[in-house]
Each structure stands twice: as structure tokens, then as C-alpha cells.
Amino acid sequence: MTATSSTPLLDTVREPADIRGFEPDQLKQLAEELRRETIDAVSITGGHLGAGLGVVELTVALHHVFDTPADRVIWDVGHQAYPHKILTGRRNRIRTLRQGGGLSGFTRRSESDYDPFGAAHSSTSISAGLGMAVARDLSGRDNKVVCVIGDGSMSAGMAYEAMNNAGALKSRLIVILNDNDMSIAPPVGAMSAYLSRLISSPSYRSLRQMGKQIVEHLPRQMQEAARRAEEYARGMVTGGTMFEELGFYYVGPIDGHNLDHLLPVLRNARDDEHQRPILIHVVTQKGKGYPPAEAADDKYHGVAKFDVATGAQTKAKANAPQYTRVFADALIREAAEDPKIVAVTAAMPSGTGLDLFGQRFPGRCFDVGIAEQHGVTFAAGLATEGYKPFVAIYSTFLQRAYDQVVHDVAIQGLPVRFAIDRAGLVGADGATHAGSFDITYLATLPGFVVMAAADEAELMHMVATAASIGDRPSAFRYPRGEGVGIDLPERGAVLPIGKGRVLREGTAIAILSLGTRLSESLKAAEELATRGLSATVADARFAKPLDEDLIRRLARDHEVLITIEEGSIGGFGSHVLHFLSRDGLLDQGLKVRTMMLPDVFIDHDAPMKQYDAARLNAAHIVETAIAALGRKVQAVRA
């Protein structure tokens, strides 16, 4: 007997064109099946679940109403785009999400024509969409451009910069504000839906236009009064006055899970012939349709593999504490002794561990929203008044505030402390979240202290060290995931600035590690010893200032010096090379090899496989050492 499919209608869909002729009841059935398929797929792969479940009906409606991919649909951030991927020819690969060689967890241009813009950081969709709309106008085309942006992403200044520009240019652009946190609008119902359909309809727009033409014959003061009266009257029944001031025609709020409400409004927006941008305010619920996700505080934003029936996540048992938790505990310990310590995060309290700090010190923890630029300068202001701000932020998110790091912190020499999470390669999130560049972009700044923790105990020491630095900016970086499992002190110790440590003494080869490649360096030294080669292993601790005495000693006493780091070219190895050159230490035949991330963006995969691809594991260190010596070395037999 053949098993009956749980997704019979979805099984008939290969691309969005297949659903354009569906009736409303079929679209509702498709939405339910799409939700079911999304839950099942993410239960196998892990990933972002809640956001995708919240936009299932919106996804179906968009691909039914708009002629994608000719019409562009841009998903801000992209972690809510799993249902979109299923409908756009990638269902047969959806269970490869975030796996090596599989689908990206975000939108990606190289993956599909239905992904017109790659995104993994927030608040870029309106800017990109406006660029596409202007390009369309310049080319004389007539396709539609739709940007879907969440209410959280609307906390970033870039979104408002783009809206301001769009309002001034008056290009035909549709922005859908996906309000899934109820932070902007109250619950919506039939009356709101009716008003939204009315206000977005051609008949209302024609009446409004006729009214404008009549008002044009009135004195200027009366024209302005009439314009404001109409605008605020619509604002009173639908909200959106702020968006109107930015030049958008506002429609909403409407129920984003009710296709009877969504479809006519989207059709009206699609068929609008006026040269202006439109904002449609849609209210949705994260995790919609899956009770465990609906009940969760974070709405199952990011999950491991889980059991669909119970929602229980199957996380591997940790052998060591997470670096993020070690940082949070260490900062709480320091803050308990120093009331001047405050913490700043940019909409990532749980991701950075500052939710724990906030529970202990609620008046000293500040979430600035998705506003990294503001967050850095806000911290600089705190520092001018004698406070000790720790800005906890992912490496790739800090890139968005580099101008503020340079001008508002570094040039003024303000003691802002940057706790840089997700340093190095990050596994399933891939290149968009990999902390590849922070050593390079921070160590190039005069006066900055730049540290990298080799293990969780070192991270505790670096939190204490940063707290003690009161005359200049500092940063310490640490990776995603678990530590190495060593014993932790009660409290971190303040490290001597610019001084490293030697963990293993040898004679022929010196391995100078910065960060968590130290454990691989020690493994490499063991392997080299079996081959008859003696290796020194040192932990630099500081990319800036360099431990010049340690580097001189390693250069003088060894034939080969290898530096290794989890960062891009231009970082620690480059600083070491420049010092060796200036100090004349390359003049006597020292063989130097720098090991760093390669000059490519490394795709999502298991972290160990990523570091294999980057050639930064123990075997690659051994290979580099032997090649530098220029001779074959046989393994020592037991």
C-alpha cells in the first residue's frame, strides 16, 4: 500500500509560476503544507525556524501575486527565507541547509535567480531594493521590487536612510514591514483589513488624487492644511504617519497570516501606477503554527536538530563551557567589584551573553538595537565620563561600525573595551558571520590593544586585563562554541600588556600562535617530535602591542618561525613580519612562514572541515614546518 503524502499540493509545485493560478483555498492549503515542510526540514538540519514560520503565508502570497523572479523580492537578513527556498525550486535540497556543500542559511545570489540580493546582516534590503528600482527605471523596465524587512531590522539607521532617499526619489518600490514582535502595532482585525484594502485600492487612490487636484487651486496655506489633515486622518485609523513623512504611502496594519487580507492589498500595491514608494505594514507571529516555537521566549530563532513531536532539541552534551558563557561570567565577576563597568550590545543580548549580565546588573546593561554605529559612539561617550564600557559584539557586526571605532574611539584614545565574539570560522553560518578581519582592521589602528584568547581561562584573564586598561581602547577576541575544557580560575588575572607565554620549549622550529589555534600548534609539536624535530610553542596573546622580546628570542634560537592565526592577511603575521624586517632579524637566514585564513570566503560547513579547507589544523602546521626546513623527515618508529 502506497503511503499518502502529507504535502500533496506542495508536491505539485516546482517553481512559483505553478501557484499563480491557485484559488484562495488552495493557497491556504499550500501554506499549511509549506509550514509542515519547513518544520520537518529544520528538525533535521537545525537553523533559523521561528522567523520562517512567521512568514509562510506572506511567502505564498508574494509568489502568487508577483511575477518572480522578474519581480524582485528581497528578504532582509534572509534567515526567514527557508519557505521561500522551498517554493523556488530548492525543495529537493532543503535538508542540506547549512551543511557542507548544501544550501545557505541565508539568501544567496549564486544559489538561485529568485535570490536577487544576498543578505545575512540586517537592514540592507531597502537600500538594495531602491538601487534595483532605480536601475529598472533607468533601463525602461516595468518589473516590481519588493523588500521584506522586520521590525527589529527597522531599528537600524540604514533602513531610515534608505527610506528617506526612496521618498525623495519617488521610485516605485514596495516595502513590507514584517512586524513580528508587536512592537509597533496592536493586534489587527477585520476593520483594519478593510481599511487597508480601501486605502490601497485604485478607487480610493483616484478619489484622493482628485481631491489633491481640487486642493491645488486653493491658497498655499489651505493646501498644506488639507494635506496634513488627510495624512493624519489616515494615520489615526491605520498608523504610519512617520512613514508618510518619509515619503511612503502607508497601508496597514494587516494580519500577515490571513491570506484573505494579504492578497488584495498586495495586488493593489502591485498594480499601483503612481511614481512613489509604498509601505505595507504586516503583523505576524514568530513560530506561527508550531506550538513549541510559539511558546518559546525567542520563538525558536535559532535551533539545533529537534524532535518535531515534542520540540526537544538534540544538542550534543558539552564537554566544556561555551566561550560566550565564560565571557559573561567573567564580566559579571569584574562588574561585581567595579561599579563603573557597563555593558553594551546591539540587539544581541543572548547571543553575546549579556542577557546574564543584564539580569545581574539591569541598570548597567544597554541594548541599543541593531545600531552598531550608535552603540560604539554611545560607549565612547560613557568612557569620556569615567565609565568602563564593554561593547560585546560579533566580529562581523563590528565591521558595520568601523568608522566610529576609528574616529570616535581610537583617535580620541578612549578606553572602550570590545569583546569580539564569533572570531574565526563559525561553521553553519558561513562566510557572512565568520570573524575573519577584526585582527587586521583593529591592529592597524594606533594605540589599540588587541588580544586573542587561546582558551577559556585566557579569556577570563583578558576580560580582567581590558577592565584594567584605562588610557586607550582595547579588544579581545574569542570563537564560537566550546572551550578546550581546562580548569578555570575564580577570577581572571591582569596580564602584562604586550607579553606572550611559552608553553613548550624546543630547538629547531618555533610556532607562535595567536588565539585558539594554540591547541592545534601543541598537537603539531607532538607530531613533529615523532619525526625527530624539536618545536617551541608560544602563545602571543597580543597582536598589538607585539611581544618583541619573545619574537627576537624565537627568531634567534630557531631555524624556522611559523605564525598562525584565525584571521585574514594583514593581521598578526603581517605585524610580526614587519617587526622582523625592521629589527634586521631576517638578515641571517631565518625561515618565516605565516599561516592565516586564505584569500577566499570559506563556505558553511562543520568547523573542523572549514579549518581543513583553510589549512590551519595540526597536520598543516607539520607540513609547513617540514617544507620550510627543505628536507624529508622520517617518522620515528616506536
The answer to whether 246 touches 164, Cβ cutoff 8 Å, is yes
Q: Is 357 exposed, middle or buried (0-12, 13-18, 19+ CB in 10 A)?
A: buried
**Amino acid (one-letter) located at 76:** D
Return all residues near 527 (Cβ < 8 A) that are at least 6 apart: 618, 619, 622
Catalytic residues: 286, 372, 400
CA–CA dist 13, 89 (Å, integer): 8
Half-sphere exposure of 144 (CA within 13 A, CB side): 23
Instruction: Name residue, grid cell 505564498.
Output: 60
Please determine, for residue 301, whether its predicted confidence score (pLDDT) is greater than 90: no
Helix ranges restricted to H, 473-606: 518-530, 548-557, 572-582
CA–CA dist 279, 19 (Å, integer): 25
Provide the grid cell at 7. 504535502
Give per-residue pLDDT as tens, 56-91.
Answer: 999 999 999 999 999 999 999 888 999 999 999 999
**Amino acid (one-letter) located at 308:** V
Nearest to 416 by CA among 309, 342, 336: 342
Nearest to 124 by CA among 107, 142, 105, 103: 107
Give per-residue pLDDT as tens, 548-593.
Answer: 999 999 999 999 999 999 999 999 999 999 999 999 999 989 999 9
Return all residues near 572 (Cβ < 8 A) that are at least 6 apart: 439, 443, 452, 514, 540, 543, 563, 565, 596
pTM recorded for the entire structure:
0.86
Nearest to 566 by CA among 457, 420, 465: 420
Q: CA of 473: how far to CAs of 373, 405, 435, 496, in Å?
A: 16, 9, 19, 16
Give per-residue pLDDT as tens, 473-492.
Answer: 999 999 999 999 999 999 99
Please determine, for residue 225, whether its predicted confidence score (pLDDT) is greater than 80: no
Please determine, for residue 636, whether its predicted confidence score (pLDDT) is greater than 90: no
Mean pLDDT of 420-426: 95
pLDDT band at 315 (very low <50, low <70, confident <90, very high): confident
Report the mean per-residue pLDDT for the chain: 89
Q: CA of 240: how far to CAs of 152, 232, 603, in Å?
A: 16, 9, 40
Question: Which residues are bridge partners to 451 per DSSP?
Answer: 476, 542
pLDDT of amino acid 233: 45
CA–CA dist 254, 269 (Å, integer): 14
The DSSP string of 13-32 is -SSGGGGTT--HHHHHHHHH
pLDDT band at 113 (very low <50, low <70, confident <90, very high): very high
pLDDT band at 2 (very low <50, low <70, confident <90, very high): very low
Question: How many beta carbons lie within 10 A of that of residue 153, not counting itself?
Answer: 24
The answer to whether 523 touches 502, Cβ cutoff 8 Å, is no
